Every structure is written in structure tokens, then in C-alpha cells.
Amino acid sequence: MSTERSLVLVKPDGFQRGLTGEVLRRIEAKGYTLAALAVVTPTREQLAAHYAEHEGKPFYEPLVDFMSSGPVAAVVIEGQDCIRGFRSLAGATNPTEAAPGSIRGDLGRDWGQAVQQNIVHGSDSPESAVREIGIWFPDL
């Protein structure tokens, strides 16, 4: 295990429902450090860079529309193996399938096909974390 950084986004659905504090509480309770925090309404350009690997897929436009629909809390976390650890803490992508005790399992709603409305995003690899942190926190 190594100390690493990851990007976490509290998506518009989680931010609007007032769940940012609960998500941050769970991150800190897990033992991770908050290295940067910002509340922003993402631009389409920012989201195009963030979701570049999904461009052209059927869910891309609905995802960008949703993510640009309101504020998000963008957070850089640090800690031992925090990328894998946060993804476990977040739970399965589909809140209906996420285990109880996970963020999505406890706080997510069943939105049918709209699985992008699943409260949080977390980087999926060290390479993605570096790229994503650069998009959301270019001065970090």
C-alpha cells in the first residue's frame, strides 16, 4: 500500500440533497486527509476533459448534462491506498446494487437508467487521479 491522492466529486444530486458533509465525514472517518476542497458548477469543457474516454458513448451527453446541472464539491483526498479504499467506501456504481454501509448503498436512490445520479465519483487509478486532479485543481 502506498500514500496516494484521489479526486472525489460529490455530484449535483448529493450536493443538492445536502450530503456533502456526510460524504466528507465518511472520508475522514476512514482515515483519509482532505488536501483540497472546492464547490464549483462544472463547465461543459471541464466535463469534456474529465469524461473524455466516454465521448461518443450513449450515456455521455446525459452524464455531461447532469454533471453541469448544478454545484459539485470537488475534493482531493490523500492516504494509504485511498483510490481503492474510496471506491470501496463509495459502493457499486448503481445505488440499487451498492452494499449497505457504502455511500451509495446508504444514501443513493434508485433512478433506473440514470445511474450517473449516484452521489459520488472517485478516481479509478493513480493515472486517472493525476489527470482528474489536474482538471479540477490545476494549481495543486
Q: Is 104 annotated as a binding residue?
A: yes
Phi and psi torsions of 117, nearest 5°: -85, 70
Q: Is 11 annotated as a binding residue?
A: yes
State yes or no: is 54 an active-site residue: no
Task: With both helix axes pointing from N to C terminus, report the angle between 82-90 and 20-29 in degrees, rounded to the nearest 10.
Answer: 130
Residue in 5, 26, 50, 121 annotated catalytic: 121
- Taking alpha carbons only, the member of 88, 74, 65, 72 closest to residue 129 is 74
Phi and psi torsions of 72, nearest 5°: -130, 155
Q: Is 20 annotated as a binding residue?
A: no
Q: Is 93 annotated as a binding residue?
A: yes
User: Which residue positions form the known binding site for ATP?
Assistant: 11, 59, 87, 93, 104, 118
User: Which residue positions form the known binding site?
Assistant: 11, 59, 87, 93, 104, 118
Point out the residues that are catalytic: 121
